[in-house]
Amino acid sequence: MKKIHLLIVSLFMATSMGLHSIHAQSVNYKVHALFLYKFTQYIEWPAANSSYVIGVVGNSPILEELQNLANTRKNLVIKKLTATSDMSGCQLIFVSENSSNHLATISSKVSGKPVLIISETGSGAKKGAGINFVLIDDKMKFELNKGIIEHQGLKVSGDLVSLSIIVG
């Protein structure tokens, strides 16, 4: 009887870990990193930027992907941040899913400053992020809150608006 119980528990744990692994694989952070970089071409900042600083809040595989991208782009700098970090100098801040509970705090820290916040949580674009990645029918899409972006003193191109899901 103990062997059957141990087998069932082991099978359950293996299945659970497999499902978690499948979910983690469904998010392609290399694509996320490329999107973040491309967003710099479709958002207009009040002052011209020769380089862009992207801050990453929380633990996320996107940090490594962005660092790899920065190694091939001279105009890209990546910073690892916490919710309490000094965020000055960042043009973009990516808030990882595991730090989404700090989204309101981060949003208030940079309110009115030319900073684009990008998140990957269920309702990030309604809670302070200008752009929020979402998975819909196993496809990565992004929500855009034009009001938040404009409040930050940024201008978003019509091309980017047409590719997004408008919220807010």
> What is the structure's pLDDT at 26?
55
Check: CB of residue 115 under 8 Å from CB of residue 85. no
Q: Higher model confidence: residue 31 or residue 1?
A: 31
The secondary structure of residue 129, as a DSSP letter, is: -
pLDDT band at residue 18 under the 50/70/90 scheme? very low
Phi first, then psi: what are they for 142, rounded to 5°?
-140, 140
Q: What residues does each domain of the chain span?
A: 27-166
- Stated pTM of the model: 0.83
Please provide the average confidence, as pLDDT, over all residues in the chain.
86
- Considering the domain delimited by 27-166, tell me its CATH architecture: 3-Layer(aba) Sandwich (3.40)
At how many degrees (to 10) do helices 29-42 and 62-72 cross? 60
6-15, 86-95, 158-167, range with the lowest pLDDT: 6-15
Residues 120-153: tens digit of each pLDDT: 988 899 999 999 999 999 899 999 999 999 999 9
Residue 7 has pLDDT above 70, yes or no: no
Residue 116 forms beta bridges with which residues? 92
Mean pLDDT score, 69-96? 96
> What is the structure's pLDDT at 48?
85
Phi first, then psi: what are they for 77, rounded to 5°?
-125, 135
Residue 55 has pLDDT above 60, yes or no: yes
The secondary structure of residue 164, as a DSSP letter, is: S
Residue 83 has pLDDT above 70, yes or no: yes
Check: CB of residue 124 under 8 Å from CB of residue 106. no
